[in-house]
Amino acid sequence: MARAIRALLLGWRLERAELAAVGVVAIGLSVIAIGIARHLDLIVARCRVVGYGVAPCGGLRELGQVYDASTNTQMWLTVQLLAVLPFVAGLVLGAPLVARELEQRTALVAWPMAVSRVRWLARRVLPIALLGSIVLAVPAMAGEILVRSMYPLLDPATNFEGYGTRGPLLELRFLLALAISVLVGTLVGRQLPAVLVAGALVVGAGIGLEQLQPLWVEPVEQAAAQHPIDHVGSQFVRQRYRDANGGWMRDEDAWALLVTANEDQPQTGLPEEVMFVIPRERYGDVVLRESAALVAVIGGVSLALIRLLQRKRPG
Amino acid sequence: MRAFSRWARLSFRLQRWEVLASIAGVALHAGLALWFAWQLRGIAAGEPACPDPNAYVPGCEALSQRFRGLADWATGLLYLSWGAPFAMGLLLGVPIVSREIESGTAATAWTLSRSRIRWLLGRVAFAAAVLVMLLAVVTVVSGVLAVAIMPNLHLERDFTWIGRRDWLIVGRGLAALGLGVLIGAALGRLLPGLLAAAFASVVVFAGLSLAMDRWNETLTVVVDPSGLPDAAPESSGALHVGQRIELPSGELVSWSDTALVGDVQVIDERGRLYTAFDDETGMPDPTTFVGWDRALVVPGDRYPQVVARDCAVTIGVGLLALGGGMAVIRRRRPA
């Protein structure tokens, strides 16, 4: 226990400024997210009293979402910042961890004195990973609260809104960014170049995860909705057109047919628009699969890091 | 000439990574922006009516869809144009002093140079020159891209995307550079300096934006926002500065002034404001009429003037920060 506390204190001492910066941003964003959630809860409560004919209660109520124009902008901005936060936190905490030791040449002393380089690395990386995860647990929970308030009629566990900005994915994405950044920092051996290179890689990882999201499970044709809320919370993947015989059409051919259709004539033989979605009930499956993939990639990057560290010259 | 070349070469060597990263970023941005502009212009030149988002033109669906798809991606590049001056300014500004202090070379560099201020100015001049050249490229290509995305607007007198396609990009870059130098010198550590400078930039530029909004209020005209832009031609391309309530007496009051106007509950389609519904009819209660909804806007033809003065103020803030940086390094210990 005492060793664990000593390791955490060492982590704090090594990256005081970086941890403080990540902490301030994470806590600040969480406070904003919870503030917006509380504001939305008040709107919902008020709408239940005054009825849904009054702005801002009308219109979107049937979609399970109630908000006004100003909170709409704040919500959008907060969700975007929550999406970026784990990557920035991983980059800021990870890139200087080994790069600083190499740049300031303290690795020349530290590595020969350590029992092994791997143990030396573990004593640096693990406390930072733990402290970062603890700090990011707050926005991960705040994101869940925000999505629950944004869609009061849906369970956040069956809703793709705010995907990646809440729950365990936020933590795992942080760990991925941290592992990539430590690896790049070790490879480059200088802080600012490491931040730049790792930043580019982390942005690439973020974009890649965004593109991969619709691929974790097989999308299905969206069923006809009984109520407007039936389609809310599902992940849209693509749109296709089906002809009268049930075959798939090229988009351009479908548009040409739709444009030439006469509104006064009966609408027969027109292409049918078909949406492919991942139903919201599969949110848990998608999170689980991405989590498993992230754990595997983090493991791979960590192994590469250990191999690199064992061969790296300290000066 | 030889001294200039030596100074440029030495300065480049000291900031090689930051300069190369900035050049790579700008080259990528410019390449993409010009490619998108070329594609969008090609579509607009073939069928000039198709890119108009406000008009439905039969036969344009596929082209219009393609134009909008490309324009969506291209608009993302304009967000990068907005962020580029802050990122590049801090990236080039913070390490100038902080890296020297952190790596312990400041003591030698400051002792060898005639004065610390002269040393700092030499270093900042190179970073500023690189920054201005690169951000000028960003400004020009962003302007070209903006025109390609919105071919039907007169963007030279339109506030749409202000700060993402004009010389404000260069002004903000110089201000961020000054701020980066100041904070890097004060903290004397590279990465914490970068983080602190990023925080400080958010605060300073948010404050600057609020201050400029207040100043811009001196240029505003009052318009009826309910039928924009047809009801008020001066609101086309205008900068929205604030929202007010016009009382029946003609006086303009703030929306937050609930003591005067009460708690406004309803706005009808003609911009009339009421504090309650009539329970029987379900319509706004005419006895609770408060006034009219009004917008304060700066007309679009003031766009060059607003950009010029915003630019001047922003560069002024950057110079002040640089002055602060000089004061810091004059008194600072080099380690």
Residue A242 in 3-state DSSP? strand
Average pLDDT (B97-112) is 89
The string of pLDDT tens digits covering residues B146-165 is 999 988 888 888 898 999 99
Measured in angstroms, the CA of A185 and the nearest CA of chain B are apart by: 13
pLDDT (0 to 100) of residue B213: 86
A chain contacts of residue B17, beta-carbon cutoff 8 Å: 190, 192-193, 196
| Side chain identity, residue B242 | G
Q: Residues B299, B221: contact at Cβ < 8 Å? A: yes
Total residue count of chain A as it appears in this document? 315
Q: Does pLDDT of B74 surpass 80?
A: yes
Rounded CA-CA distance A167/A157 in Å is: 10
Phi and psi for B228 in degrees, rounded to 5?
-60, 145
A112 in B contact zone (CB under 8 Å)? no
pLDDT for the residue numbered B237:
81
Higher pLDDT: A308 or B46? It is A308
CB proximity A18 to B under 8 Å: yes
- Give residue-wise pLDDT tens across range A231-259: 788 888 888 888 888 888 887 777 777 76
Residue B208: is its pLDDT beyond 60?
yes
B95/A contact by beta carbon, under 8 A: yes
Q: Which amino acid is at B303?
A: Y
Q: Residue A259: list chain B partners with CB under 8 A.
A: 58-59, 61
Say if the Cβ atoms of B17 and A55 lie within 8 Å.
no
* Average pLDDT, integer, range A290-298: 96
Mean pLDDT of the region B232-249 = 77
Pairwise CA distance, residues A305 & A186, whole Å: 8
Which of A21, A54, A192 comes nearest B17 by C-beta? A192
- Which residues in chain A are closer than 8 Å to B91, comparing Cβ atoms? 192, 196
- Above 70 in pLDDT, residue A58? no
Question: Do A280 and A159 touch, CB atoms closer than 8 A?
Answer: yes
Average pLDDT, chain B: 87
**Gap between the Cα atoms of B132 and B88, Å rounded:** 10
Look at residue A62 in the predicted model and tell me its pLDDT: 47
Q: Give pTM, 2 decimals.
A: 0.80
Q: Is A252 on the interface with B (CB under 8 A)?
A: yes
φ/ψ (deg, to 5) at B206: -65, -45
Confirm or reject contact between B277 and chain A (CB < 8 A): yes
**pLDDT tens, residue by residue, A199-238:** 999 999 999 999 888 888 888 888 776 666 677 888 888 8
Both tokens of B158, joined, read: 């339109």
Contact A192 B191 (CB under 8 A): yes
Across the interface, do A18 and B191 touch by the CB < 8 Å criterion?
yes
Rounded to a whole number of angstroms, the distance from the CA of A307 to the nearest CA of chain B is 26
ipTM over 0.85: no
CB contact under 8 A, A21 and B277: no
- Identify the pLDDT of residue B20: 93
Residue B4: is its pLDDT beyond 80? yes
Contact A302, A179 (CB under 8 A): yes
Alpha helices of chain A — where are they, by DSSP H? 2-14, 16-50, 69-103, 107-113, 117-150, 167-188, 191-212, 251-260, 283-311
3-state secondary structure of A67: coil
Does A255 contact B62 at a Cβ distance shorter than 8 Å? Answer: yes
Confidence of residue A41 (pLDDT cuts 50, 70, 90): confident
Q: Would you call B268 an interface residue with chain A, using a CB distance cutoff of 8 Å?
A: no
Structure tokens at A284: 């848990």
d(CA A160, CA A147): 10
Q: What are the structure tokens assigned to A162, written together?
A: 């705010």
Place of tokens 């919500």: A75
Which pair of tokens denotes residue A193?
A: 């170049």
Please write down the HEC assignment for all residues of chain B. CHHHHHHHHHHHHHCHHHHHHHHHHHHHHHHHHHHHHHHHHHHHHHCCCCCCCCCCCCCCHHHHHHHHHHHHHHHHHHHHHHHHHHHHHHHHHHHHHHHHHHCCCHHHHHHHCCCHHHHHHHHHHHHHHHHHHHHHHHHHHHHHHHHHHCCCCCHHHCCCCCCCCCCHHHHHHHHHHHHHHHHHHHHCCHHHHHHHHHHHHHHHHHHHHHHHHHHHHHHCEEECHHHCCCCCHHHCCCEEEEEEEECCCCCEEECCCHHHHCCCCEECCCCEEECCECCCCCCECHHHEEEEEEEEEECHHHHHHHHHHHHHHHHHHHHHHHHHHHHHHHHCCCC
Model pLDDT for residues B246-281, shown as the tens digit of each residue: 888 888 888 777 666 666 667 777 778 888 777 777
B189 touches chain A (CB under 8 A): yes
How many Å lie between the alpha carbon of A166 and the closest alpha carbon of chain B?
A: 24
pLDDT at site B165: 92
Would you state the structure tokens that stand for residue A105, as one six-digit string? 């040449």
Q: Residue with structure tokens 């930051």?
A: B18
Q: What is the pLDDT of residues A88-99, one digit of tens each?
A: 999 999 999 999
pLDDT given at position B133: 97
Structure confidence by residue, pLDDT tens digits, A156-184? 898 998 899 999 999 999 999 999 999 99
Tokens of A83: 């999406």
Distance in Å, alpha carbon of B103 to nearest chain A alpha carbon: 7
CB contact under 8 A, A18 and B265: no
Question: Is B192 in Cβ contact with A17 (below 8 Å)?
Answer: yes
The distance of A193 to chain B (nearest Cα, Å) reads 6
Cα–Cα nearest to A81, from A34, A128, A33, A40: A33
Residue type (1 letter), B282: G
**CA–CA dist A72, A54 (Å, integer):** 17
User: What does the DSSP 8-state code read for residue A263?
Assistant: T
- Tokens representing B46 are 């073939």
For chain B, the residue count is 335
Interval A128-167: pLDDT, tens = 999 999 999 999 999 999 998 888 878 889 899 889 999 9
When CB atoms are compared, the residue of A17, A252, A259 closest to B195 is: A17
**What pLDDT, on the 0 to 100 scale, is given for residue A6?**
86
